[in-house]
Amino acid sequence: MKKITKTLYEALEYANEHPEKSVTVISQMYGVDRHSITKHLQDYHKYQYYYSNEYYYLSDEEMEPVIYYLEHQNEPMSAIVKKFHTKSETIQRRLRVIGEKYSRRYTRHFNRNAFNELTTEEDAYWLGFLLADGYINEDRGFIKITLGGQDKKHLFKFAKYMQEENPELSIQQTIGGAKIKNNICYTISFHCKNIVNNLVNKFNLKQRKSGNEHPIIIDDVELKKAYIRGMIDGDGHIKNHYFKYVGSLESCEYIKNFLQQFVDYKEDCNYIYPHGKIYSFELNNQQVNKALKYIYNNANIYLDRKYQTVQNFD
């Protein structure tokens, strides 16, 4: 892009309207170099875009990707950059110069207003699951869930909740891990600052949360049950007459307090145990099955593997 100052443009305009005036006189009137007037007098009218106190001239070649961008609303910027062998920043600057706004275009379509509020069973469940087993990156604005191959289908349930029709999972090989089958795990991620801000500011999820999870207060019993089911599906371990949850001390106490309606805690027994920065809440008695059946029965959203385990309880 070529540009000239506003003062020079006004001097050129005056010179064009007053051909009887000498270039020297006009240069003195406007305080600009006389050679600049002579150089630009014949083509100054090409500088038709005014931006930030300067006038710009964009050639047809420079305008081509800009026009293409404006006429192809559904095509992402990345594709246009590749097509015209230019940079996104270059197109964005030209858009600003000609007075057009740049709006980000997404190649993935999903609900970017997710987690605006907590009103449904699925809202509560996925908040609990993310608290226990999700990852949030506040700096880069994305969330992700990684699960072993046996729970791969669960990621598609999350994609459905996020209203993404054709989700793509990334695959990675890992070393060890109880939940990893054949050393293969799957990840689904969503990049959206708005979603991250909702999770952080409204529902108290943090980027470096391991051992620092802070469950939220939920008054509605059914929503709280779904929230806890999400937590258990994320970081709980269940067998017949046995339950264990691993997380922060606050998370363990949260679940322990919820289950007190089913479990008779003995005063002389310790149910929460420290493991470095994290804790485990453990139960091993006949009352466990009744409590877990209450949490999982009649549920619409759950981790299939754990749901089936509960259904097989005697």
Average pLDDT over residues 174-191: 70
Bridge-based pairing of strands 236-239 and 278-283 is: unpaired
Among residues 155, 150, 158, the alpha carbon closest in space to that of 123 is found at: 158
Q: Which residue has the higher pLDDT, 92 or 171?
A: 92
Homologous superfamily, domain 121-311 = Homing endonucleases (3.10.28.10)
Per-domain boundaries in the chain: 2-97, 121-311
- 201-246 pLDDT, tens per residue? 999 998 766 678 999 999 999 999 999 999 999 999 999 999 999 9
pLDDT band at 293 (very low <50, low <70, confident <90, very high): very high
Average pLDDT over residues 261-290: 91
